[in-house]
Amino acid sequence: FTPDDLGAIEKRMQEIVRRNEDIRREVWDRDEAVAFFLKQGEDFKAEIIRDLPADQEVSLYRQGDFIDLCRGPHLPATSKLGDGFKLMKVAGAYWRGNADNAQLQRIYGTAWRDKKELNAYLKQLEEAEKRDHRKLAREMGLFHIQQEAVGSMFWHPKGWRMRQNLENYIRGKMEKGGYQEVSTPQMMDRILWEKSGHWDKYGDDMFTVCTHDHREMAVKPMNCPGHVQIFNQGIKSYRDLPIRLGEFTTLFRNEAHGALHGLMRARSFSQDDAHIFCTEGQINEETAAFITMLREVYKDFGFESFRIKFSDRPEKRAGADETWDKAEGALREAVESLGLECELNPGEGAFYGPKLEFVLRDAIGRDWQCGTLQVDFVLPERLDAHYIGEDGEKHRPVMLHRAILGSFERFLGILIENYAGRFPFWLAPLQVVVATITNDADEYAAKVLAELTQAGVKVELDTRNEKINYKIREHSHAKVPVIMVIGAKEAAEGTVAVRRLGGKDQEILALETAIAKLREEAVIPGS
């Protein structure tokens, strides 16, 4: 099949919809089903049936003269599909995901309740394609990816400046919130990861190195075991709690090649990662403080609201059920005390504790899970963390794992797509370009550049021997928020012509006035 075939297949589907054929489920004997599909030349379906557990029934669906293997459920008749469907693409797929097997093809489609919903979805896809952060990053000169470092970014100066802006912004928030920044080793012995339980859960996703003395070291995919090691140094009293430790160093995860997607899913990334060591009685207070900070951060980036999911114990987990009962109860009590509404996300907690997931909705209606708060009674036990309580005895602290942005890289990708590259002035990697009409204005333009730089504005100078309309078009395409146009008249009068991205008009301002306005806009929120 090729994409050109999809239109013809859709027409055939529409015919079948109009025939309004009943769709009926049937349960067949295993051997009978295998023989039937082998006779039809459907060897792959026969193989699936042979591999089913002995006690699992073989579910088939009959539609007219067509019989197919499927566990269902299905619509009762073909007419129920209506006209809200479309075939999207064709892709190769190895049988059962194994490259040693036959290569097949898969046709992807989408179905909605009606044509209106379908068109809305297709419009969203079209808009998402325009906003693709990888495409915009190329246009804006932010980063690139190449085969020699799959899943990692080559950050260009503008992109790295944005990435640093994010980190510095959240660092300031965390410092005000009483967090202490730390740094832990990039590689730690496998023994520590086995103690923490991460090896059993994430071992296949870790990059490992064997040292000359035959020790197996894992490049860290998360910071939590290292933060427990810092907490464990010296004797801690209940008076010292809560202790809030934050870290921004790079993490590495061996994500499958097919799962990688620019900034959204990478093998190397950093997080606004922090761990709060506290008593059980401090969970509510720390949860409230975290959510207050989270609201402020999301609002600064233009997200006025968010949804919360409560993710409880997964099937594969560490710790006894009694421990999970206590952790889930503590987190649920914290949520209820704050009057927050949550939707249950069953079985999606971390392997060591339940969590809250904070979901943002972007400008075109897509949801992104960013922030998390996890209550952990397990890791302090496994790594022998303790403090001296008011009674003079040893007690285990509760460990709250928390992040607001999550991965800096992923959050930056979300911002690029949410704003379609048209960032708020304070966040833009390049805020102003000073562009000359004539080289006679070069000396004055250099003065404007120096004064804007002194005011803390990120600015570049464009004195190329090109027409001003060409310069404006080029810098607008690169999503520069402000272009200051300077000619002989502006140089003589000490003014600048200010053009805003997306605006058709320009504003003539005295240089001092323009710099004062832009200095104010360049201030990082909350700083």
Which amino acids are annotated catalytic?
Answer: 224, 253, 271, 273, 275, 355, 401
| 3-state class (DSSP) for residue 272 | coil
Residue 256 contacts residue 231 (beta carbons within 8 Å): no
What is the H or E stretch that residue 315 is in? none
**Residue listed under structure tokens 């190895």:** 94
Q: List Cβ neighbours of 512 (8 Å cut-off, separation of 6 or more).
A: none
Residue 220 contacts residue 366 (beta carbons within 8 Å): no
User: 60 vs 51, 52, 68, 94, 223, CA distance in Å?
Assistant: 16, 14, 6, 24, 48
**Residue listed under structure tokens 């510095």:** 168
Q: How far apart are CA 57 and CA 72, in angstroms?
A: 12
Helix axes 321-337, 283-300, angle to 10 degrees: 60
Question: Whose CA is closest to 190, among 214, 217, 159, 162?
Answer: 217
With the C-alpha atoms ordered 84, 87, 93, 95, is the resulting torsion angle positive or negative?
positive
If you ran DSSP here, which 8-state letter would residue 212 be given?
T
- Angle, CA 270 vertex, CA 369 and CA 311 arms, to 5°: 30
Measure CA 114 to chain center: 30
